[in-house]
Each structure stands twice: as C-alpha cells, then as structure tokens.
Chains A and B, each alone.
Chain A
C-alpha cells in the first residue's frame, strides 16, 4: 500500500491488468516512449514493449476503429484519446460501430475495449481541450461510462472496465491527475470496484448531493464547510454514470428528501437532468424540495482562467446550491 496520485493509481491499474491478461494492450498518441501527454503511461513502454504499448498516427478514428476491431477479434485494448474533446474525430467508430456491434450480432460478438481519455476543465486549456462530454457518451446504448473521483476508485474501476466485455468510456479528470491534495493510499495488486455501483462518500441527513469525478471532491469540500453551520450533507459519488446506480441515489433521497446534483458539464441537456428525472419518476413522494443542478454555464469552456473559474462550478456555487435546496437563501 502506498500513497498514489489519481494518475499513478490509473497507471498502476493498467500495469496490473497488463500483467494479468496478455490480451490487454495500449494504443494511442504519444503513449509509448514519450509516456503520454500527461505522462500517465510513463514506464509502461519499457516494461511491456512496443508490441503492447502502441503509438499511432494522429487519427482518433483510426485508434478507436482499430481498437474496436481488435476487441471483436479477442483482444482487450485500452486506448487513449489525449483529450476527450478529440473523441469527436472518432465518433462514427465509437457510436456507430463499437457501441452497436454486440447488439447487432445478437450478443455473439463482444467489444471489450476501454477508451481512456482526459476530460474536464479548470487547467486553462481552452474550449477544445476542456469539455465534459459524459452526457453524449452516456446517451448511447451499448457504451458504459465511468467517472472516477479519487485514486482508489480510479484503479479499481479501471480494472473492472478492462475486464468488462463492452466498450467502456473511462473519463479521467485532468485536474485530479497530479494533484497531491487528492492522493490516497491505494492497495497494490488487483482489486476491483464494480461498474454501476455508486458510493456514499459522506453520510448526512439534510440533503443529498449527487456528483461524479472532480465534482465529488468539490462537493465534499462544500459539505465540509457548511457542516460548521450545522448543515449535514450526504455526498453520493456515482462513480459510473452508465449503468447508473439509481438505487443508491434513491436510498439517499428517501433519507434526506432533498437533492442537489453537481456536474461540470453545461447544464443544458446534461446527465444530471437524467438523474433528476429518474428521481422524480421513482420517488416524487420522497421529495421535500425541488431538486436542482449546479452545473457548467451554457457556453464553451473559456480560455481565460478567470472566466473558466466562473463557468465551472466551484465550492461557493455548490454551497449556494445547498442553501437554495434547503430554502436557506
């Protein structure tokens, strides 16, 4: 057991599954000798060789298409898309091929591939390198979407994703990657966290906050600050947004009667809209206040650091949201 950053924990998970299963290989841009643009695959080229850690031309369509093909023929590729925004270039391969194949062959073909990519903003990377597209991926039947919030979860979820027989979109938050503040004790060797299982990261009785990825950390921070005012928030980390663990969300809402959803993506047509809809459909009678979202503003992520901080939910905005749901502001 050692203290690892989010990025180190993911690398550790990749190394473990590569050791465990020789069908697993890595493919992506600059992931080999260079070690990936965030350095996540550092050392893996040396450890596993060029055959299993493959650099590609700059073509997301090629990376995704080749991975889907390899997966169908029995390999278990982990592909890296440098920034999640660039997935757009390979969308046809992803949405129209990888996501559909298992259904269209009546379950006889499987597509066990993991698309790892750096998502989210807050790093000053501008509109093309900072988006949060989980709603787009989660909308497509056939894809699973994972959004870990911490190193421990990231490793366990990565291993489960590789072992899954479906295309899994593994959205890593670039601000979490190297931040020592969020480093955690992570067990060595193999362990798994099941896909489709949320976790209550903080117990509370006044209000349920539902979030994923980096927003879980910000929500925990907001909850901690408001606890000094006697406000007791529960924080549910979805971990996987598809399959969605609505049962854990409902159990929390049944307890608190109040729901705040926090997400980094633009609010319009967002994934948390889906969460709130399901909560209302399943548990209208448990609600003691209208559920609300604290989400990204409806604009491209600005390049200006100041504007970017405005666009993406911060701790103060989450605190305002909590007070609003509680009817205290």
Chain B
C-alpha cells in the first residue's frame, strides 16, 4: 500500500487545501496520472500519482486544509488492507509540542472521518440548511455532535464569529449583504469567496490582524531617473529588454535593501529572521486577483536582466502560467499603481514578509532652482513595515537612502 501525501512545495508551505479529487476511490491509476488538485496559499496545482495501483481510500476531502506531508489517500492493490493512518509523518516535521498536539487532533478527526462515507461532510440537515442561509463555510467548522457531526450550534457559533469579523472591518460584500437583509439595496450578485480570492482575503486579514503596520511616505524628484531611462532604453531594446521606470525602481529597492538588510526580514514563530537573499516580489494584477511573482537575487542582477525577468513574469502572470517556484520565497514586495494615476497609496504587507513598498504615478510640480521657477517630475513612495521587528527610524533610513538613489541613479554604479 502506497501513501499519497500532501506535498510540501516551498519552505513556507504549511497546509494545502484539497480543491478537487480528479480520481475517485476505486479508480485505477498509473504513475503520472493526475490524482487531485490542491491549492496552496499562492497557486493551485495538480498532484500526480507516484505509484501504479488502485486509489483505494481517500482520507481527506475536497475543501479540507491539510498539513503538508500528511497522508491524504492510499494507492494499493484491489484486496490489500487499508492501514491505520499514522500521524508520524506529519508530526515528524513539527518541532513545537503545541503544534504536535494539533496534529494529533487532526489525526483523530481523520480516523473519525474514515468511518463515514468519504464523499460527505457529517452534518445534520438543519445545520446544512442554516449554513446555506448564513453563508457559513463548512470546511472551517468543527462538528461537536456525535461522531463529529456538525450540528445547529456549530453553525450558529460560526455565523456569530463571522458577524463579529464583519463588524470589525465591513467589506463591500458584507455591507451589501447586510443591506440585502434589511431589504433596502438591490443586490446584483452575491457569491461565496473561493480560490485565489479567498486566499487573498485570508492573507490580508491575517496580515492586518497580526502585523502592526507603520507606513512612511517620501517624495523623490525623478528627473534624473527619467533621463537615465531615456538614455538607456534604446540600447536596452537592442539587447532585448524593455527597460521601464519600474525596473529602475526594482533595482534601487534591491540595492537599498542590501544596505538596510534589516528590512529584508520576517517574523516567524517569535523568530526574527533576516534574509541574506534579496528576492523582490512584484505585485501584478490579474483577472481574478493579484499575484506576486519573485525576481530572485534581485540585487545581484543587472538592469537588463531585471527588465527581462520582470517582463517575463508579468506576462506569465497574465496568462496564469506562473509556476509555484516563481511565486515563492519573496522577501520584499513592490506594488505600483502609478499607471492608474494614483499619487500614492498604502499597502498591506504580504505575510510572512515584513515590508512592502508602494509606487505612485510620476507627476509634475513647479520648484525653485537657482531663483528660477522650473518644472520637475516627482514620485511618491510609501513603505509599510511590520513594527514588531522594524521601527519607524529603520524604515525612514531605508526610504531616505532609496530617495537618494532615485534622485541620483548614477550612484547605482558604485
């Protein structure tokens, strides 16, 4: 009997959500057949069979969040006995005893689920109806009824905690839902969050709820930056790169990080981690959300390579063809809304990173220079940092140096 486990893709992956079982229990499978689709906190991907045989038993169902390396199914011969699920694999990777306890609970819940029809969540009809009415996501509800059945009380409790969240930060959806309840506003559509949208929602709430942000804004005169780009762009074109201002900003951000490496960090499990690698993620809007592909070792790349890589990643993002390895291991994020004419904006830090830099549009202002009134181009930059590990002065020093680079890009050659 072969175990199918929740794969661990990327160092930071802790759990994966089972999106869809492509194969059903009893299906014959061969090595390389796609067994299921999973969703990590970044992308969805397919899991292939590593063994030939019959998919004998599915232990974890669609919609469940499963810790990495936990057994989710068995592949074996027709009459082979299905073993008891060992929790050793999962707990072996866990160091803290508290977490190990949670794992144990998971295993218990799992063996309870084993006894039931695997295609069903155990839920009373009343609870099911209430969940639909109140829009409660069942995958997040733990049943307290006999044999782990979800009963009325569980749904009411889940709905209540949901309302509390709503009240705390009423999102667009919550507002229109409330309005719909009181019958005052016509609702165009109302659909439960899913896929990448849901992941974004969860991550943003996690970030805002756990990370106290401080946000600083600086202004840079970018005349020199624009002039440099004008000088370089045709040459870059000949060398196969579309060099734009964003590429220069990425380069500046990376060089500044090298000098202020404390910003290139993360707080994980009470551990203040400063990364040596500088991997800048670029926020890219796509049709149904937002992805942040990573430019690895950004500080070690030249402008041409950054420009090429940036273009490649943005195109892949728009086509939804980014691989998981291109979305992982970012240490810092840049988000640019300048193309929409946005002067400046604040962003929410992309956990587990500790900082995000936002870039606004280029705008012109009159300035005094040698007693003359001259027109100059400016850009606003906002830096949000996790105040648990980075103080305002640290962030200010970073921004100060960043602006110095932006105003004097020739410094990049040092």
Contact = CB atoms under 8 A, between A and B. Distances in A.
A284 B125 contact: yes
27 contacts: A257-B124, A257-B126, A257-B152, A285-B125, A285-B126, A285-B128, A285-B129, A286-B125, A286-B126, A287-B124, A287-B125, A287-B126, A288-B124, A288-B125, A288-B127, A288-B145, A288-B152, A289-B124, A289-B146, A289-B149, A289-B151, A324-B146, A327-B144, A327-B145, A327-B146, A327-B149, A327-B151
A284 B125 CA distance: 6
Given A257-B126, A289-B149, 16 more contacts: A284-B125, A285-B125, A285-B126, A285-B129, A286-B125, A287-B124, A288-B124, A288-B125, A288-B151, A289-B124, A289-B145, A289-B146, A327-B144, A327-B146, A327-B149, A327-B151
Contacts of A288: 124-127, 145, 151-152
Interface in A79-93: none
Interface residues of B, number: 12
Interface residues of A, number: 9
Nearest to A285: B129
B119 to A, nearest CB: 19
A contacts with B: majority SS = loop
A257 B152 CA distance: 9
Interface of B: 124-129, 144-146, 149, 151-152
Interface in A240-292: 257, 284-289
Contacts of B149: 289, 327
A285 B126 CA distance: 5
Interface string A294-329: 000000000000000000000000000000100100
Nearest to A284: B125
B53 to A, nearest CB: 36
Contacts of B124: 257, 287-289
A288 B146 CA distance: 11
Nearest to B132: A285
B290 to A, nearest CB: 39
Interface string A48-68: 000000000000000000000
Contacts of A324: 146
B112 to A, nearest CB: 14
Nearest to B151: A288
Nearest to B124: A288
A-B residue pairs, 5 tightest by C-beta: A288-B126, A327-B146, A285-B129, A288-B124, A288-B152
Contacts of A289: 124, 145-146, 149, 151
B154 to A, nearest CB: 10
Contacts of B152: 257, 288
B178 to A, nearest CB: 25
A276 to B, nearest CB: 13
A216 B145 CA distance: 27
A44 B152 CA distance: 56
Contacts of B151: 288-289, 327
B44 to A, nearest CB: 33
A199 B149 CA distance: 32
Contacts of B144: 327
Q: Which of B125, B149, B151 has the most CB of A within 10 A?
A: B125
A289 B146 CA distance: 9
A160 B145 CA distance: 44
A20 B126 CA distance: 50
Contacts of A287: 124-126
A286 B124 CA distance: 9
Q: Counting chain B CB atoms within 10 Å of each CB, which of A284, A288, A324 scores highest? A: A288
Nearest to B123: A288
Contacts of A286: 125-126
Nearest to B147: A327
Nearest to B153: A288
A286 B129 CA distance: 8
Nearest to A280: B125
Nearest to A254: B126
Contacts of A327: 144-146, 149, 151
A257 B127 CA distance: 10
Interface in A190-209: none
Contacts of A257: 124, 126, 152
A288 B153 CA distance: 9
Nearest to A289: B124
Nearest to A328: B146
B214 to A, nearest CB: 48
A251 to B, nearest CB: 15
